[in-house]
Amino acid sequence: MNIFLLGNNKPLSRTSSSLNNPSNTMPTINYELVGIVIHSGQANAGHYYSFIKDTRCRYSNNTNQWYRFNDTTVEEIQLTEQMLEEECFGGTFRAQKDNNNNTNEERIRFWNAYMLIYQCIEPLKLLPPPSIPSSPNTNRLTTRNTRLNRSNQRDSLSQLADLVVQSEHNDLFKIK
């Protein structure tokens, strides 16, 4: 099976050894990077913040819009190779000692990517085909359960929508 991870629009392929078997008919599954959780600090203390890709614009011209979510601030960012290296890979960096001195000192970078979040690009192809009920009674139960599930989903979605509206009124999602 081939798995392609799309990060910064560069496909990375990972091929399993089962490809050597000609009877293997597993489909190719494509994923794209949609979020990064970063830990700033050390093992005993620190802070988390996130980079989140705007997936609402997947089918528009602007397919690579990212935001930094850091506590109460949200800002639009350009996720570049340099930014990824500086924000996600630890290591060292050169910092100016003081404003009066031009010498730089090497310091340890205490922030690293903690978790990468991927989203399947073609999820509909992975869903199993719908099952056909074996009897009319089963069909009635399935229809009733489906109605109950949809009702619960609407309740959950309306609660989420209310939370988002309240957060917007409190400027929680304000882009600075």
Q: What tens digit of pLDDT does each residue of 95-116 get?
A: 777 767 677 888 887 778 789 9
Round to whole Å and give the CA distance between 68 and 108: 22
131-149 per-position pLDDT tens digit? 666 665 555 556 666 665 6
Is residue 62 within 8 Å of 71, Cβ to Cβ? no
Judge if pTM exceeds 0.75: no
9 contacts 81 by C-beta, under 8 angstroms = no
Q: 63-106, pLDDT tens digit by residue? A: 688 999 998 899 999 988 888 888 888 777 777 777 676 778 88
The separation between CA 174 and the C-alpha centre of its own chain, rounded to angstroms, equals 20
Classify strands 29-42 and 45-53 as parallel, antiparallel or unpaired. Answer: antiparallel
At 55 the three-state DSSP class reads: helix
Residue with tokens 């190719």: 28
Domains in the chain: boundaries:
2-127, 131-176
